[in-house]
Each structure stands twice: as C-alpha cells, then as structure tokens.
Structure 1
C-alpha cells in the first residue's frame, strides 16, 4: 500500500505534487538515493548526510521517514549534529545494531 505524502487537509497543489512525484518515478529515485546515502554514511543526521552527499537536506528530511516505513533505513538515537549544533535524529542501515549508552546526571560516559 502506498502512503500518500499529502495529508487530506493539504491544498490541492500538494496532492498534485504528490501524484507527480510518484508517477514520474522521482520519489522512488530519491528514496533509493537516500537509502544509499545512509548505507554509505550510517549514523549521521539528515544535515550531515546532506553535507556528505550534496543531496538537498529537505529532500533527505522528506525521504528518510518514507525509507524508514519501507525498512530501508532505521531511525537511531538523537545526538548533537556536528553542523547545526542542535540535537537531531541519526539514521542507520537496517542491519546496524544501535546501542544507546544511558546517561545519568553527574556521571561521565
């Protein structure tokens, strides 16, 4: 089942863009590129992936959750992004085992 990218409450232009992206094959191509980027650079944030691959950061931000639904990438723990300095989700290959280290106040890791 294909999940529409446009919500029911979105304007008709969003629905038209959704149909175009699917029918033209652009969405599928972007999803493949996104999954390949994560395969090559696991554990990065979407902004870091954009920096490494020169893919548009907003294309990555749209396609990563779609790839997660298709099980081609896995959402990991958040950490401080080396580019923005803000906490951001990391993205991993489906086969990666992610171990999150618990942090306790006052105890250095």
Structure 2
C-alpha cells in the first residue's frame, strides 16, 4: 500500500469544491438522506473526493479496485466518489479493461489537467 497525500490543487482550484450532486436517491429512506447531509456538512465528502482525485493522479489508468489496493482507500468509497470527481472536472473515465485484481471488466480512471475541458 502506498500513502498518498492530499494535493494542494484542492486549494488552488476552487471550482473543484463545487460538487453538490445528490448522494441519496429520492427513493432512498430518510436515514440515507440524513447520512448524506451529515457526510457533506461534516466535510468528509469533500475530503473523500480530494483523496480520490489524489489517488487517480498518483496511479493513473487504474480501476477502482486497483486504486483501493494501492492506496488503502475503501473501494466502495472510491466507487461513490469517482463519478463526483468526474463532475468536479478533475478526472475522466477511461476505457474498460480486465482489472488486475478481480479479473472482471472495469473502468479505468485518468487525471485531467487543470483547465482542460472534458466531454461528458
């Protein structure tokens, strides 16, 4: 496992903080909505997004399971925060390929240079 530090880009590019997509579905129970609100209000959601972006920058082209194995970040946290990091404009989805850990077909994730526009 490799330790990665939260990168300073988070403080330089304020637009990366503007991820306020809902994290609980409208059909989810009230407890899910409360947990989502607490996760966002506490700052943990932002920290998880920052850690996810740092992981992809440290290990470009990896699957979520490969990123988890290399960084120690829970794969389920990564799976939730990777799409939000795409919304933030910091990473992009890559091609699917067999994961070196699971052998299953999985998306790869790539960093985006600051200021670069990515087609959704």
* TM band (smaller chain): 0.7 to 0.9
**Number of aligned positions between the proteins:** 95
Q: Give distance in 1, aligned partners of 2:37 and 2:64.
A: 25
Bigger Rg, which one: 1
Q: Residue 15 of structure 1 corresponds to which residue in structure 2? A: 33
The gaps in structure 2 that reach 5 residues or longer are 1-17, 114-120
* Runs (4+) off by over 2 Å: none
Q: Residue 104 of structure 1 corresponds to which residue in structure 2? A: none
Q: Residue 77 of structure 1 corresponds to which residue in structure 2? A: 95
Q: Residue 41 of structure 1 corresponds to which residue in structure 2? A: 59
CA RMSD, 1 decimal: 0.9
The gaps in structure 1 that reach 5 residues or longer are 96-109
TM-score (ref. length: structure 1): 0.85
Does residue 55 of the first structure (1) align with residue 51 of the second (2)?
no
The alpha-carbon deviation at position 16 of structure 1 amounts to 0.5
The alpha-carbon deviation at position 26 of structure 1 amounts to 0.1
TM-score (ref. length: structure 2): 0.77
Q: Which has the higher contact order (CA 8 A, sep 6+)?
A: 2
